């Protein structure tokens, strides 16, 4: 019996891995949003999950309510989310530029609550169906994935590469990293610190919007907390602030979330129904054993 069930489990593994990859990609994008803001301002943005919420819900409004063609709706949804990110920075974070980082972090908690309330006000239903980028399935023996899956993978790879190049190859990206290491010194060498903070929110909201879009077809105002926690876990597990850490963390979390419950149900015959516990356990384990994250280089130089 156990042997047979292990064979069953192994047979299911390709499907678990495909599902884990799809979810992992979304976690990666959310985690990168956390990283970008953390890198240039030192702030953990608790409203990152709500950017995803806006991405999906705006796509519904533009694509279904207003009936715009899907590519136009998607671009508008990402732009609208980016604008919300920029507004958040100008109205909430910029006025706190001389306050402590903790104050700004608490402000982002407020933003998260505000965004969720706005989402609930304008999109009150429990879920909205957003059109898929492409419909249909791809089936190879043992695995069935939707065609949307290819978009998820492709958009994630492109986003990760662009973000990496931006931070390591462009002047603005390097300037943003400099701000994180030492704001005052960055300002002294001529970097406009407040503009870099604005850019980081703009970029993080854009990535959040993309994550929310590809997490669709079902968008809802409640998704923010769900994705926010997963993305934060992925960022910390990989190493806060590190782009490839986000990739590692997102993939590890995505895969374990499918493999562990699969193993429990199929091999041990216990279905806990608490898949979310995987993220919490992973977070605690990594913080205890390797607080700098799986591929983080060292302790962050903050007092």
Partner 1 sequence: MRGKRTLLIIAVAAFVFSALLALPGCGDGETETDSKEPIKVGVVLSESGANEPLGKPERNSIELYVDRLNDAGGIDGHMIEVIIKDDQSDANKAQQAAVELLQQEEVVALIGSSGTGTTIAMKQEATKARVPMVTMAAGANIMDGDFTWIFRTPPTATEAGKKVLEYVSEELGVKRIALLYDTNAFGTDGKAVVESEAADYGLDVVVSEGYVTDESEEGMDTHLTNIMTADPEVVVVWGTNPGPAKIAKRMRDKGIDLPYVGSHGIANQAFIELAGDAANGVVFPAGKMLIFELILEPGSEEYEFIKDYSDAYFEEYGEHIDTFGGHGWDAITIIVEALKRAGTDVTPEELRDEIEATEGLVGTAGIFTYSPTDHNGLSPDDLTMVEIVDSKWEHYSK
Instruction: Name the site residues for partner 1 (rule: CB under 8 A).
Output: 5, 8-9, 12, 15-16, 18-20, 22-23, 26, 120-121, 124-127, 129, 137, 139, 144-146, 149, 215, 217-218, 220, 222-223, 226, 257-258, 261-262, 265-266, 271-276
Which CA distances in Å does 287 have to 246, 252, 294? Answer: 15, 15, 10
Q: Which is nearer to partner 1, 127 or 294 (CB)?
A: 127
- Of 49, 50, 72, the C-alpha closest to 61 is 72
B/e letters for 155-188, b = 16+ CB within 10 Å, e = fewer, are bbeebbeebeebbeeeeebebbebbbeebeebee
CA 245 to mean position of chain CA atoms: 13
CB 187 within 8 A of CB 193: yes
CB of 120 to partner 1, least distance (A): 6
CA atoms within 13 A on the CB side of 90: 8
**170 vs 276, beta carbon nearer partner 1:** 276
Of 5 and 187, CB closest to partner 1: 5
Contact assessment for residue 209 and residue 28, using Cβ atoms and an 8 Å cutoff: no
CB of 211 to partner 1, least distance (A): 11
Interacting residues of 62 by C-beta distance below 8 A, sequence separation 6+: 68, 72, 73, 76, 77, 80
Q: Which is nearer to partner 1, 65 or 100 (CB)?
A: 65
Characterize the bridge pairing of strands 143-146 and 137-140: antiparallel
CB of residue 23 to partner 1, shortest distance in Å: 5
- Closest approach, Cβ 227 to partner 1, in A, equals 8
Least Cβ distance, residue 38 to partner 1 (angstroms): 25
Of 243, 239, 249, 247, the C-alpha closest to 292 is 239
State which residue, 50 or 89, has the beta carbon closest to partner 1. 50
Nearer to partner 1, 38 or 128 (CB): 128
Rounded to the nearest whole angstrom, what is the least distance from the CB of residue 61 to partner 1 in the complex? 16
Nearer to partner 1, 16 or 38 (CB): 16
**Complete DSSP assignment for 54-73:** HHHHHHHIIIIIS---HHHH
- Does residue 37 contact residue 23 with C-beta atoms inside 8 Å? no
Closest contact distance (angstroms) between CB of 165 and partner 1 is: 28
Residue placing its CB nearer to partner 1 in the complex, 42 or 49? 49
Least gap, CB of 233 to partner 1 (angstroms): 15
- Cα–Cα distances (Å) from 257 to 48, 89, 208, 246, 268, in that order, read 21, 33, 21, 16, 16
């Amino acid at each position: 019996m156990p042997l047979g069930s292990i064979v069953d489990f192994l047979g299911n593994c390709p499907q678990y891995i495909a599902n884990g990859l799809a979810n992992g990609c979304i976690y990666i994008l959310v985690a990168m949003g956390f990283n970008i803001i953390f890198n240039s301002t030192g702030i953990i943005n608790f409203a990152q999950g709500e950017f995803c919420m806006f991405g999906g819900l705006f796509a519904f409004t533009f694509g279904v309510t207003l009936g715009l063609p899907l590519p136009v709706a998607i671009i508008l949804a990402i732009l609208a989310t980016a604008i919300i990110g920029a507004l958040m920075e100008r109205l909430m974070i910029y006025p706190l530029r001389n306050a402590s980082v903790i104050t700004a972090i608490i402000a982002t908690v407020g933003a998260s609550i505000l965004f969720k309330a706005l989402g609930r006000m304008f999109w009150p239903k429990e879920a909205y169906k957003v059109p898929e980028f492409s419909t249909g399935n791809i089936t190879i023996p043992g695995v069935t994935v939707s065609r949307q899956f290819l978009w998820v993978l492709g958009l994630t790879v492109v986003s990760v590469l662009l973000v990496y190049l931006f931070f390591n190859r462009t002047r603005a990206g390097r300037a943003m990293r400099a701000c994180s290491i030492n704001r005052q010194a960055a300002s002294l060498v001529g970097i406009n610190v407040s503009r870099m903070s604005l850019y980081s929110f703009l970029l993080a909201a854009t990535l959040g919007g993309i994550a929310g879009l590809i997490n669709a077809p079902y968008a809802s105002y409640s998704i923010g907390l769900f994705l926010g926690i997963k993305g934060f876990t992925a960022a910390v597990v990989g190493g806060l602030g590190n782009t490839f850490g986000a990739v590692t963390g997102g993939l590890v979390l995505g895969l374990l979330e499918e493999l562990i419950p699969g193993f429990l149900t199929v091999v041990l015959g216990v279905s806990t129904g608490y898949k979310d516990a995987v993220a919490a356990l992973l977070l605690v384990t990594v913080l205890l054993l390797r607080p700098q994250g799986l591929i983080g280089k060292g302790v962050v130089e903050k007092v």
